[in-house]
Structure 1
Amino acid sequence: MNISQEKKDALNATLKISLSPADYQPQVDKAIKEQAKKAQLPGFRKGMVPAGHIKKMYGKSILVDEINTLLSDKLNKYIEDEKLEVLGQPLPKLDDEKEYNWDFNDEFEFVYELGLAPEFAVEFSSKDKLTQYVIKVDAETLASREKNIRRAYGKMTNPDVSAEDDVLYSDLVQLSPDGSVFEGGISNTTSVRLDQIKNEDVKKSLIGLKKGDVVTIDLQKAFENDAAKVAGLLKIEEDEAAELKSNFQLTVKNVNRLDEADLNQEFFDKLFGEGVVTTEEGFREKITEELETMMQQDSERKLQNDIYNYTLDKVQFELPDEFLKRWLKATNEKLSDEELEGGYADFAKNLKWTLIANKIVVDNQIDIKYDEVFAYAKQSLNNQFRMYSQQSLTDEQLAQYTVQYLQNKENANKIFEEVKAVRVFDYIKSVITLDKKEILFTDFNKLED
């Protein structure tokens, strides 16, 4: 057997593997004998089928299988021994001019294309600067949060006349183009929340209504062609809602209003526990603190995204793009040329980040221990459980779930990669200069990612 490598350039190479009968015959003979022991053929007792008979009937398929296994083993070993950093997997290069008899005497020659990882350096210092935003609660956001909390603990009333934030419990009936009721058309009894209506003119037409009032409403205009919202109100499919052109007759059955809870001690105790908050000022300080804690997570996501883009701009290198495109096509049979071209830029961007992150881990000897992976997985699972249940799991129960979760190799790899990403971001943050800047939440939301 002979394996030779030829470098086409820094990112592309070919491997040529030459096989003679002496290289593959022992494995083929062994496989034929094992098959003979297991075979159940008419006219022969189990385990007594002659090897020659198996070779005559199944020899070529066994030969193909054994050569494929041999090639895979030798190819992987060569890559490992030569410490080649390959991207994707080796691709067999077809040669239409070569034909083999597969008669156990052929001299075989197989050629594989390799995509090689580029060589590059990652060098960060205090000269690299990024902004780390410290988000502060603005008056509008604080007032909105206060209102939502007070309404959540408020009482439902039924005023005579509708106001801006009320809910109209109504009958909706489809109308014909001439304004008459469309017989056999769409109808539904539902709650129309005025605070969700996006068009101000439509919203104004629904303010000041009382029980029994009838108005005409253009739902597409009201919700600015939000098919999901229209479909939900009418209990129809989104596709149907997107195509809907009709106006609807809205008949008010009831006006519902959620009055805000009073800012008193009973309300404060329900929210924060007995005696924790005793004044309106303390209440607003508490919800400001909670909001800014949540906003800190938004700031961290923004910083990570900025680090990601800054790093990709700073660390420049090429990829074996044409090879990678062929590899993606070979490993995804349903991938069209249009999908490949449309998605390749994002694929290449993520691959570059992976290569950079791996180099940071190796160069800086970042060691990710199982305890870190376990703790991260445990916290992630706890967050998921809390989203769906008010009842907390005990630490022992959570640990058991975590062990079971990580026994799945795919889950374990996913969590490991997430921990690695966190460690890489932490390393970069520890080296570069982060200029802290206070910003109001409303202004932060206007920033581009």
Structure 2
Amino acid sequence: MQVTQTSSQGLKQEFKVVLPAADLAAKLGAQLAEVQAKAQIKGFRPGKAPIGHLKKLYGKSIMGEVLQEAVNEANRKIVEDNGLRIAVEPKLDFPGGQDEVERALAAEGDFAFTVTFETLPKFEVGALDDIALERPVAEVGDDDVDAALKNLADRVQEFEPRAEGSKAEKGDKLTIDFTGRLDGVPFEGGTGGDIDIVLGSGTFIPGFEEQLEGAGVGDQRLVKVKFPDDYSAAHLAGKDAEFDVTVKGVAAPKAMEIGEDLAKKYGFENFEAMKTAVKGNLEADFHKVSRDRLKRALLDALDGRYSFELPETLVEQEFNNIWQQHEAEARRSGQPLAEEGKTEEETRAEFRKIAERRVRLGLVLAEIGQNAGVKVEDKDLTEALVERARMFPGQEKQVWDFYRNNEQALAQLRAPIYEERVVDHISKLIKITDKPVTKDELFKEEDEA
């Protein structure tokens, strides 16, 4: 095997490899000898079929395997001899074309190819102890717990029919039939029967529920609304519509004390146990938001510290993922690809910067994690896999088997866990100061981000 480096440009390293015909023929001969010892060919005694006959039968397929193994071996040797850290799978090119490949398959000529490796950049992480960040923290108050308990109570709210002749009030549950029209023509998805709606819940289109207040059983009302501009169905977004509504039932909410009865409905031993659990869940939610805010601040700080050449293929792959998601969202919402106030080209350029940031931060975190010996434990991966399987009720085994038998999918599951472990490691090295904030401040900035 002859290996010659033909190009070195930035992160791309190109090599020319020549596999002599004699070496290939020797490998083919060795493979055919193994086949001869086991082959049972009609007309020949077991193990006695001539090599020439076996070559006619199997030579091309065996040589295909020989060439593939030779290419893999050459690539491994190039990586090891040159200390390359590969970013993506190497790219092969066969300058001799199909004729040369056919000659090599017949063991009648040398096999030459070029291989291009795109490597990972080399950079120094350096010390991180000069990074100082604030972590916003908010305390869970009694009002927060009360609001959460009320929300839980609303979920199991029971209703009882109002007296005959009563009119619907905000908070009542109505059972309705409706038929919707656009410009006088019924539209797909605009018809419903025996639909329950709680007035004031905001479940229906803005303005729909308010126009049913004061209605009684048997009443028919013409409800006029406008679909929101960002409505999920693009053909309805921003359109004016009319609905013929028939009220078939009016029920008032039954009084329910937020106490022991509510706790029993949710399977708690008593109300105090329920309050403790609710507060614990809220504290976990607050902690997660606080951690996410700190993580974003940390990533911003890291992004500003490093500047190095990025593997073009990784950036292109990340950009394509982002852009495909953007295209899918644009189709769903009926919005143009260009963001407001920008051309499509400017939008693409902005998304490419996002892709570059993600790749850069991914490489930085990977380098820090590797230097620190950060690893994802089997139990962490198993927990993540169990959680993923739970997202598909009734298909848990299929999901489990898919990930266990698909290394690439398993790697995608491992990646975010690894990232969190690296962030935990960095958090121990930098200076973090807790900054008390209100709940609204904590979650408002979370929404804006």
Fold conserved between structures, TM > 0.5: yes
Q: Which amino acid counterpart does residue 373 of structure 1 have in structure 2? A: D
Q: Identify if the C-alpha distance between structure 1 residues 117 and 182 changes in structure 2 by more than 3 Å, giving closer, same or farther.
A: closer
Q: Identify if the C-alpha distance between structure 1 residues 51 and 345 changes in structure 2 by more than 3 Å, giving closer, same or farther.
A: farther
Q: Which amino acid counterpart does residue 172 of structure 2 have in structure 1? A: D
Partner of 1:3: 3
Among 201, 211, 221, the alignment partner of 1:215 is: 221
The alpha-carbon deviation at position 360 of structure 1 amounts to: 1.2
1:349-402 deviation per Cα after TM superposition (whole angstroms, max 9, x unaligned): 444333222321232234x37xx431563476379759979xxxxxxxxxxxxx
Matched, 1:444 2:447: no
In the TM superposition, 1:342-353 aligns within 5 A as 348-353=356-361
Partner of 1:319: 310
Among 228, 245, 248, the alignment partner of 1:250 is: 245
Among 202, 215, 218, the alignment partner of 1:196 is: 202
In the TM superposition, 1:17-416 aligns within 5 A as 17-35=17-35, 48-56=48-56, 59-95=59-95, 100=100, 101-102=103-104, 103-137=106-140, 144-159=147-162, 160-175=166-181, 177=183, 187-189=191-193, 190-194=195-199, 195-197=201-203, 201-218=207-224, 221=227, 226-227=231-232, 246-267=241-262, 273=268, 277=272, 287-288=278-279, 290-321=281-312, 348-366=356-374, 368=375, 372-374=377-379, 377-378=382-383, 381=386, 408=405, 410=407, 413=411, 416=414
Question: Which is further off, 86-95 or 2-11?
Answer: 2-11
Question: Which is further off, 405-414 or 243-252?
Answer: 405-414
Q: Distance in 2 between matches of 1:184 and 1:107?
A: 66
Q: Which amino acid counterpart does residue 18 of structure 1 have in structure 2? A: V
1:113-168 deviation per Cα after TM superposition (whole angstroms, max 9, x unaligned): 11121111113434312231213457986564242223345431233222223332
Contact 2:206 / 2:225 at 8 angstroms: preserved in 1?
A: no
Among 401, 424, 427, the alignment partner of 2:422 is: 424
Q: Distance in 2 between matches of 1:414 and 1:364?
A: 21
Q: Distance in 1 between matches of 2:315 and 2:197?
A: 52
Q: Identify if the C-alpha distance between structure 1 residues 267 and 112 changes in structure 2 by more than 3 Å, giving closer, same or farther.
A: closer
Q: Which amino acid counterpart does residue 432 of structure 1 have in structure 2? A: I
Q: Distance in 1 between matches of 2:130 and 2:33?
A: 68
Q: Distance in 2 between matches of 1:27 and 1:327?
A: 41
The alpha-carbon deviation at position 323 of structure 1 amounts to: 8.9
Q: What SS does structure 2 have at the residue aligned with 1:65? A: helix
Q: Distance in 1 between matches of 2:314 and 2:158?
A: 65
Contact 1:199 / 1:224 at 8 angstroms: preserved in 2?
A: no
1:4-53 deviation per Cα after TM superposition (whole angstroms, max 9, x unaligned): 33452341211221222232221111233445566677766775543213
Structure 2: any 5+ residue segments left out of the alignment?
321-344, 395-399
Q: What SS does structure 2 have at the residue aligned with 1:250? A: strand
Structure 1: any 5+ residue segments left out of the alignment?
228-237, 330-337, 390-402
1:158-190 deviation per Cα after TM superposition (whole angstroms, max 9, x unaligned): 332222233321011245846xx9699964211
Q: Which amino acid counterpart does residue 32 of structure 2 have in structure 1? A: I
Q: Distance in 1 between matches of 2:424 and 2:129?
A: 14
Q: What SS does structure 1 have at the residue aligned with 2:55? A: helix
Q: What SS does structure 2 have at the residue aligned with 1:446? A: helix
The normalised TM-score by structure 1 is 0.73
The alpha-carbon deviation at position 88 of structure 1 amounts to: 0.5
Question: Which is further off, 343-352 or 206-215?
Answer: 343-352
Q: Which amino acid counterpart does residue 158 of structure 2 have in structure 1? A: K
Q: Distance in 2 between matches of 1:188 and 1:202?
A: 14
Q: What SS does structure 1 have at the residue aligned with 2:289? A: helix
Partner of 2:337: none
Instruction: Please give the root-mean-square deviation of Cα atoms over the aligned residues, in Å.
Output: 4.6
The alpha-carbon deviation at position 54 of structure 1 amounts to: 3.5
Q: Distance in 2 between matches of 1:93 and 1:184?
A: 53
Q: Distance in 2 between matches of 1:64 and 1:18?
A: 16
Q: Identify if the C-alpha distance between structure 1 residues 81 and 409 changes in structure 2 by more than 3 Å, giving closer, same or farther.
A: farther
The normalised TM-score by structure 2 is 0.73
Q: Distance in 1 between matches of 2:133 and 2:219?
A: 58
Q: Distance in 1 between matches of 2:21 and 2:368?
A: 46
Question: Which is further off, 268-277 or 5-14?
Answer: 268-277
Q: What SS does structure 1 have at the residue aligned with 2:124? A: coil
> What is the aligned residue count?
410
Q: Percent identity?
A: 20
Higher relative contact order (CA 8 A, sep 6+): 1
1:299-338 deviation per Cα after TM superposition (whole angstroms, max 9, x unaligned): 2233233333432332221123169759999xxxxxxxx9
The alpha-carbon deviation at position 57 of structure 1 amounts to: 5.3
The alpha-carbon deviation at position 215 of structure 1 amounts to: 1.2
Q: Identify if the C-alpha distance between structure 1 residues 262 and 213 changes in structure 2 by more than 3 Å, giving closer, same or farther.
A: same
Partner of 2:325: none
Q: Identify if the C-alpha distance between structure 1 residues 324 and 439 changes in structure 2 by more than 3 Å, giving closer, same or farther.
A: closer
Question: Which is further off, 248-257 or 48-57?
Answer: 48-57
Q: Distance in 1 between matches of 2:434 and 2:7?
A: 48
Q: What SS does structure 1 have at the residue aligned with 2:304? A: helix
Q: Which amino acid counterpart does residue 22 of structure 1 have in structure 2? A: A
Q: Distance in 2 between matches of 1:252 and 1:98?
A: 75
Q: Which amino acid counterpart does residue 165 of structure 1 have in structure 2? A: G
